[in-house]
Chains A and B, each alone.
Chain A
Amino acid sequence: MYQFNYKKVETIEEAVNELSANPESKILAGGMTLIPTMKQRLASPEQLIDIRNIKELNFIKEESNNIVIGSTTNHYTVASSDLIKNKLSSLSRLAEGIGDPHVRNMGTIGGAISNNDPTADYPAACLGLGATIKTNKREISADDFFVSLFETALEEDEIVVSISFPIISDSIYMKFPNPASRYAMAGVFMSKNTSEVRVAVTGASENGVFRWTEMESSLLNDWSKSSLEEVKLSPEGIMSDIHGNSEYRANLVNIMAIRAFEGINE
């Protein structure tokens, strides 16, 4: 690992000031992606700003039919929260399936979405539920937040404060984990309420998480197995690597969508 400065901050304001003062800084939350990346010298920030001690970023609450989660809340806390289990179990189950227990004790929701790894789980939940991401400056809808691989709408001096998920009980996340790494090779987050169907896909596209709009309109038009099976994901633009080519991955997405649909109907 290359040498860097380390700064622990106690408030959001302090974190933002540090970020503005040194644009080569990186925010350190759980560090479950950042530290392994730095170990491999794939990242070499000049300074780490440790935000894990900012108390106001660590919370889970219910607010006007939304579950609001502070950005430094770790995956274990989300997975084991009774409030989320009762109101939005799709999100508890997603959190329960991230990494392994030790990673879940450290990794945070804010870190996961700010990194926007194309195989991460949380971005699918944000898009699949139509979440709103609150930062120190503004509120960003999930539809505008995830830009491309490892790229978000966050500006250089902007940090995620909380994520607000609408409580949609007809929602589910289905993923096909890579048998070795356990990252999603294909993950589908599906939700359905009276006016909208959302189908978000992670792990598959060369451009990161995306909404599968063709599937959404087909299911909104007619919530049935036949309209589900009419739509097939095109392999174009789908990742192709040692673990599976684009045809294989596109088919996995189709299958995860079927499982999600069946799961919601159960």
Chain B
Amino acid sequence: MSLVELEINGKKISQDVEERQLLVHFIRDDLNLTGTHVGCDTSQCGACVIHVDGKAVKSCSMLAVQANDTKITTIEGLADGESLHPVQEAFRENHGLQCGFCTPGMIMAAVDIINRNSNLDEKIVREELEGNLCRCTGYQNIVKSILAASEKM
């Protein structure tokens, strides 16, 4: 076991983890933050995207021990109390989800996309969504949501 100390959604955590535990399992099973999803076993779907030190990463392809001494934000840490984050609000307004399984990863990826790109357009959003799969929407309303959110951020 190794000691992991990190800050997640503003809360400090200090806990022993098994070296082979994936970060996503630590977040879901140990910390009970089940908004972060596991949608595949091949690092492709992006349902597990979170922010580690402000950068979007796939938490299924990272070990919990690697996250020692980092600051993590998951989907649970986005909203400000009762008021949704602009990206969450935009997904709701624009019907950017259907079953909702990919949505936490989509939204975490979207926040990162908007942070990195000052002049977003549809082409950039579609390219940037390379690592996030959605099996319901056909992406139309996801793209619309991200563009709408980028106007407000």
Chain A residues packing against B (C-beta within 8 Å): 1-6, 8, 28, 31-32, 35-36, 38-40, 48, 50, 52, 76, 99-103, 105-106, 181-182
Q: For residue B65, which residues in chain A have a CB less than 8 angstroms away from its CB?
A: 6, 8, 50
Give B17-61 interface residues, CB cut-off 8 Å to A.
18-20, 22, 41-44, 46, 49, 55-58, 61
Known contacts A105-B56, A106-B57: A100-B62 contact under CB 8 Å: no
Chain B residues packing against A (C-beta within 8 Å): 2, 18-20, 22, 41-44, 46, 49, 55-58, 61-63, 65-66, 68, 109, 112-113, 128, 130-132
**Beta-carbon contact of A101 and B61 below 8 Å:** no
Q: For residue A6, which residues in chain B have a CB less than 8 angstroms away from its CB?
A: 2, 19, 63, 65
**Beta-carbon contact of B66 and A103 below 8 Å:** no
Q: Which of these, A5, A8, A35, A50, contacts B61 with CB under 8 Å?
A: A35
Known contacts A31-B63, A35-B62: A102-B20 contact under CB 8 Å: no
**Beta-carbon contact of A52 and B131 below 8 Å:** no
* Number of A-B residue pairs with CB-CB distance less than 8 Å in the complex they form: 72
Known contacts A101-B109, A102-B46, A106-B61: A5-B131 contact under CB 8 Å: no
Q: For residue A2, which residues in chain B have a CB less than 8 angstroms away from its CB?
A: 20
Q: For residue A99, which residues in chain B have a CB less than 8 angstroms away from its CB?
A: 130-131
**Beta-carbon contact of A4 and B20 below 8 Å:** yes
Q: How far is the CB of A19 from chain B (nearest CB, A)?
A: 18
Consensus secondary structure, chain B interface: mixed
**Beta-carbon contact of B66 and A102 below 8 Å:** no
Q: For residue A181, which residues in chain B have a CB less than 8 angstroms away from its CB?
A: 44
Known contacts A31-B62, A100-B131, A106-B62: A3-B43 contact under CB 8 Å: no
- B18, B42, B44, B132 — which one has the most chain A CB atoms within 10 A of its CB? B44
**Beta-carbon contact of B63 and A101 below 8 Å:** no
Q: How far is the CB of B136 from chain A (nearest CB, A)?
A: 19
Q: How far is the CB of B45 from chain A (nearest CB, A)?
A: 10
Q: For residue B46, which residues in chain A have a CB less than 8 angstroms away from its CB?
A: 100, 102
**Beta-carbon contact of A3 and B19 below 8 Å:** yes
Q: For residue B109, which residues in chain A have a CB less than 8 angstroms away from its CB?
A: 101-102
Look across to chain B and name the residue whose beta carbon is closest to the beta carbon of A6.
B19
- A3, A35, A38, A181 — which one has the most chain B CB atoms within 10 A of its CB? A35
Q: For residue B63, which residues in chain A have a CB less than 8 angstroms away from its CB?
A: 6, 31, 35, 48
Known contacts A35-B63, A39-B41, A182-B130: A105-B19 contact under CB 8 Å: no
10 contacts between A and B (CB under 8 A): A4-B19, A8-B65, A28-B66, A31-B63, A40-B41, A100-B131, A101-B56, A101-B128, A105-B56, A182-B130
CA distance A50 to B131 in the complex (A): 25
**Beta-carbon contact of B66 and A52 below 8 Å:** yes
CA distance A6 to B3 in the complex (A): 11
Known contacts A31-B62, A35-B63, A36-B43: A102-B19 contact under CB 8 Å: no
Q: For residue A182, which residues in chain B have a CB less than 8 angstroms away from its CB?
A: 130
**Beta-carbon contact of B56 and A36 below 8 Å:** no
Look across to chain A and name the residue whose beta carbon is closest to the beta carbon of B64.
A6
Known contacts A102-B58, A106-B61: A5-B43 contact under CB 8 Å: no
Q: How far is the CB of B47 from chain A (nearest CB, A)?
A: 11
Q: A32-B43, A35-B63 are in contact. List 12 more A-B contacts (CB 8 A).
A: A3-B18, A3-B19, A3-B20, A8-B68, A28-B66, A35-B22, A50-B65, A100-B132, A102-B46, A102-B58, A103-B61, A105-B55
